[in-house]
A and B are shown apart, each in its own frame.
Chain A
Amino acid sequence: MSSTLREYGDATRAVLFDYLPAAEPRRYLYDLVADYPRRGGRALRPTLCIATARAFGTPLEVALRTAVSIELIHNAMLIHDDIEDESEQRRGKPTMHVAEGIPIAINVGDTLSLLSMRPLLDNRHTLGPDLSLRILEETERMARESAEGQALELGWRRDNVTDVTEADYLLMVLKKTCWLATIHPSRMGALIGSVGTIDLDRCIRFGFFLGAAFQIQDDLLNLEGDATAYGKELGGDIREGKRTLMLIHLISKAADAERDRLRCLLGRRREDRTESDVSWVLERMDTYGSLDYARQVAHGLAGAAQYEFANLYGHLPDSRDKRFLEALPVWVIERN
């Protein structure tokens, strides 16, 4: 797993920086545009795209530009997500808006989004116009789904919605996380690898279960992971009032007085939630088994992803890339 992520991540980054202009204004834009991509990361999204294409027998370079675009969009969204979540750390360093201010950070994120289109336009030299256009269409759709998912989460927080069900949460995760993280990369790899002949609907289920398991594990790491390895502030999700599966479970299990206290806590502004609040919520989650519950759900969803993988790609010949895809559901829930 690690070697594939490293190889395809390095290949993506080698091309990605070619698409970041070395031009003015540098101090306020183009030096900053390169900041988040330089901080590294697992490169899961571009790797998923490339590995899927390669599992069909496609050369790496054919899928590379699409992978680059995915990684650029991902970094653009991270900048905006950090603003929306009021996060203070990203990959072990201050977030863009903390370091440079919100206005400049928004502009940098916008620019990264725009720059992500160029590799897709350049696809026409490799993939031909019709496949390239389809990929552009798909990218538009992915961006829209991601925005809708983010809107749900932000709206729940703003309006202090506390009756979010598990189904609501899964739908939000499907849109906000899965489309960019797993569904779109998987679909694009399959689209390129099958030269446009595969029914892309079949990729959605695999991507959804994989992405949902990934998100829940991410939320668990936020509460109990290793701070250095995780790269963000632990307990930050509680401080943000993020509607995670653990929080939803806790709200459903808590006694009336505890639920009232939770609602009150979630209704406050982020800066008004204290360390003591975070500790109390964590302790209640532990008491009611919310973390264990979420862990079990993540395991179940990863199992469903394995099942969908077999349905979707079982007919492909054995290869390193097919084995990588097959191992992903386990990897997403084991990672730290």
Chain B
Amino acid sequence: MNWEEFTKAAPELAQLGFERIESSGMVLLGTLRPNGFPRISPCEVIFCDREAMLGMMWRSPKALDLLRDPRCVLHSTVSKTDGSEGDFKLYGRGVDVRDLAVRKRYCEALFAKTGWQPSEPEFHLFVVDVESAGFTRFASGKKTQQAWKR
């Protein structure tokens, strides 16, 4: 399911995830190398067109990973050491986007946010087909945990 469908299925969890991802605009993306080794790469997330969109440099290792094996995980970044901001994880599959109209809207959203956009056709664009998600936060000695699975 896309991000909008996920927000309907698990609104509170999706809002926590949205806030955590938007706080930096970045996630740590876990993918699989050709030999099965896990790989981690920073990746910018743009929420646009009802989707969580991942833009990547042309032929970058993480893009090639997703084209070969779409399984991925997105993890929010961390700026504090006490766990009080919370960790958000999103498991799913990266779906390659070839639709030029969708890619154009992604570029416009990216430009509005950063003042920069890539040129066609020299970038990869994926949307996340969401399968499960989780959020954990430690604050004032209390652990908050939420999980959802399709």
Q: Do A and B bind each other?
A: no
Binding site for A on B (CB under 8 A): none
Q: A residues engaging B (CB < 8 A)?
A: none
